[in-house]
């Protein structure tokens, strides 16, 4: 029987969704059956051998829907290996990535006994529909909008490496259970 992993994510503009889909594809390339779904589309979180959960980070916090997903499914999540990722900074500088961990991630990790958390750089498109107060302000203040150039800083090799590491750790975890 093949190992099944749910890659659940919350994304605002699609950058985190792209990372989650790449994680699922990389897990599949490593022999793991993986499905990437928005946390809002997950009807039943049971029936998986492991989980990778990710969120965009805004105002130094994970998005509400992913935190609700974790809380609602904590019993299932605690019974299996779970890895977490965040996306957000528009830089792959190690110091920027290290400083971009959401303020609430330690609470999330404790709630479900996560095996680790990784931060990936994200992407920003100026023409994306603004969501939330900060983005709406940026959309009406031209200087603010120009200060944040469009960029896609996602490091696909790092994302593939993360997924490969998860696949290896998952295999070991399932052998010891």
Tell me the average confidence (pLDDT) per consecutive run of 10 residues in the chain, 177 residues long. Answer: 92 92 98 97 95 93 95 96 92 83 93 96 67 53 60 93 96 81
Could you tell me the CATH number of the domain that includes residue 123? 3.40.50.360
User: Structure pTM?
Assistant: 0.86
CA-only gyration radius of the chain, Å: 16
Strand, helix or coil at 126? coil
CA dist., res. 64 & res. 104, Å (int): 11
If one counts the domains in the chain, the total is 1
- Which of 109, 108, 125, 13 lies closest to 58 in space, CA to CA? 13
Give the domain range for residue 101.
4-176
CA dist., res. 15 & res. 147, Å (int): 20
């Amino acid at each position: 029987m093949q190992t099944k992993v749910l890659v659940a994510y919350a994304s605002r503009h699609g950058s985190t969704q792209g990372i989650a889909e790449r994680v699922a594809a990389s897990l599949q390339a490593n022999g793991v059956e993986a499905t990437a779904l928005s946390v809002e589309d997950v009807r039943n979180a049971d029936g998986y051998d492991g989980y990778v959960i990710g969120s965009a980070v805004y105002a130094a916090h994970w998005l509400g829907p992913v935190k609700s997903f974790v809380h609602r499914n904590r019993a299932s999540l605690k019974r299996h290996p779970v890895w977490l990722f965040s996306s957000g900074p528009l830089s792959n500088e190690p110091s920027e990535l290290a400083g971009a961990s959401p303020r609430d991630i330690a609470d999330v990790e404790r709630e479900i006994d996560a095996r680790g958390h990784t931060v990936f750089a994200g992407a920003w498109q100026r023409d994306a529909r603004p969501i939330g107060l900060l983005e709406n302000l940026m959309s009406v203040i031209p200087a603010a909008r120009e200060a944040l150039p469009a960029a896609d800083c996602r490091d696909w090799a790092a994302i593939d490496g993360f997924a490969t590491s998860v696949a290896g750790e998952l295999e070991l975890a399932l052998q010891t259970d």
